[in-house]
Amino acid sequence: GMCRDVKAHQPKQPPKLGGNRAALFVYATVGLENMAFIANAISLVTYFYGYMNFSLTKSATTLTNFMGTTFLLSLFGGFISDTYLSRFKTCILFGSIEVVGYAVLTAQAHFPQLRPVPCQGVPPTEMNQCESANSTQVGILFAGLYLVALGNSGVKAALPSLGADQFDERDPKEAASLSSFFNWLLFSITSGAIFGVTFLVWISTNQGWDWSLCVCTIAVLVAFLFLSMGKSVYRNNVPKGSPILRILQVFVAAIRNRRLSVPETTEELHEIHDKEAGIGSEILSRTDQFKFLDRAAIVRSADDESRLRTPGPWNMCTVTQVEETKILVRMLPIILSTIFMNTCLAQLQTFTVQQSTTMDRNLLGFQVPGPSIPVIPLMFMSISIPLYDRVFVPIARKFTGIPTGIRHLQRIGVGLVLSIISMAVAGIIETHRKSVAVKHNMVDSAGPLPISVFWLGFQYAIFGMADMFTLVGLLEFFYAESSSGMKSLSTAISWCSMAFGYYTSSVMVELVNKVSGGWLGSNNLNRDKLNYFYWLLSGLSTVNFGVYLLCSSWYRYKKVEAKKADTCSSDPEGKIEMGRV
């Protein structure tokens, strides 16, 4: 036959693309890049407070605003990746911006004239007498911070999707590997973070912030050079146009057709099948939610079409395009109900780190830097993730028949419950810490209290488990549920939960201060009511979990129609649209 004749004259088959070999480059890049990012996310609050002379509250809100902006800007990176550039090119472009940002921060930390005289070893009650950073110094700081934020945001949107693209979710064998990919992605993040919060934090504490930030700059540069080395083995996506434009077309067409009745059968709606859709395009089945959007796919009568001349994408969309929009609308309540967990996470990166600076950090004669305390949950996660992936998932898969063991939304729910427990425990630990300060008459002392910093390990360990369930669950959920044309944007949406969580944290701190009369108002944690704040977060998280249960029970998972491709032209390697990197 024709197919056999074509294959007989084909040259040697190109090397197999994708798979675990390609994913290894992604794991290494994620590890190195997050070594720098997470180390700074944990410890920059001490840089703002001790070197830029910001107040305790301003240090916390500056960090949470920076983190929030980083995750929110991932929407821009996702849009660029899905619309104009491949995921690989997006990673390289934004990675270069991130390197420049770290270089600016390194320069400021190195040259004394670019920052105020550090105000260290001063009692908390006298911090207001320290020299404030001038507008130029603050401008340089924010320029470096937000270049890092912009660069990291694009990488966050595109890199997980680039790794996941190396596995075909429609292939049963590769679907299981795709599930493992997200677990090992978190393992890579965790491994990099462990190195960051120990080695990099030790450098910043003992050798100086300029050395620490210089190492960050080099590490991120090496990370993206290493990602470039895997260029020849990646399955790479072909941008399919703006997903935002396709979604807007559905809403506009649905409004224009609002007076038409919705057909009962799917056959009466517009869809492009088989070769018209192009190799690798998925056809989404019609669902019974948001039926008013189905009007966008109504095929008009001959009289209507002649009046409109050509239907056009703003007058008539495909069922797949309508379902793509429905998926995004269904996702919004899920993402909104996970925001508050990340508000709790922000406290572990700000107030909990500041708590650690007031406690005894001796470990077998070694002075443990306060920002290194998160190594406790990170070590716990590095052990738990392989056990979850290699023990729990295979056992659960036998009972449920689901490649991931349990549903994505179930996994997210477990994490939300653990975050509630973590905040409640944090309140108890802070109450104990303050009682030690009162007992030893050290409420206004700048010295460390006679209580081990490892008491904070309890809240960190519980929240580390919560993060393992929820973060991976969200990434996997948004990648698996999104259509093939909006994978990067959907990954970016999952990061937006963290963005709004950090912004909510900034608002919560300011609001609680005003309403409570100053629970967190002084620069002295021994006099603040941080324990009350933790318990408030635990209570609000419980309410939030109830909202999540309602949202998740209402959600409908997407259904993809089985479609036979032409055997002559199908891609035996990628099973997705391929493009040059």
Co-location of 481 and 434 in the same domain: yes
Total number of domains in the chain: 2
**Residue 563 domain-assigned (yes or no):** no
pLDDT averages per 10-residue partition of the chain, 581 residues: 49 65 91 91 83 79 84 87 86 94 92 78 61 84 93 90 83 75 89 90 86 94 92 80 84 87 76 52 78 83 52 80 87 88 82 82 78 80 86 87 84 92 93 89 82 86 87 85 79 82 83 82 80 92 93 81 43 42 43
Coil, strand or helix at 390: helix
What was the pLDDT predicted at 127?
59
Instruction: Answer yes or no: do 255 and 332 share one domain.
Output: no
How many Cα neighbours within 13 Å face the side chain of 526? 21
29 lies in the same domain as 84: yes
Give pLDDT, residue 478: 85
Angle between helices 19-50 and 56-72 (to 10 degrees): 160
pLDDT at res. 149 = 93
**Strand, coil or helix: 423:** helix
pTM: 0.77
Q: What is the pLDDT of residue 11?
A: 52
Regarding whether 308 and 386 lie in a shared domain, the answer is no
129 and 266 assigned to the same domain? no
| Domain annotation covers residue 566 | no
Cβ burial of 113 (10 Å; 0-12, 13-18, 19+) is exposed
- Cβ-based neighbours of 564, under 8 Å, separated by 6 or more: none
285 and 421 share a domain?
no
- Whether residue 485 sits in one domain with residue 380: yes
Statement to judge: residues 284 and 212 lie in one domain: no
The verdict on residue 567 lying in a domain is no
Domain boundary among 310, 325, 340: 325
SS (H, E, C) 322-352: HHHHHHHHHHHHHHHCCHHHHHHHHHHHCHH
The parent domain of residue 189 ranges over 19-238+326-554
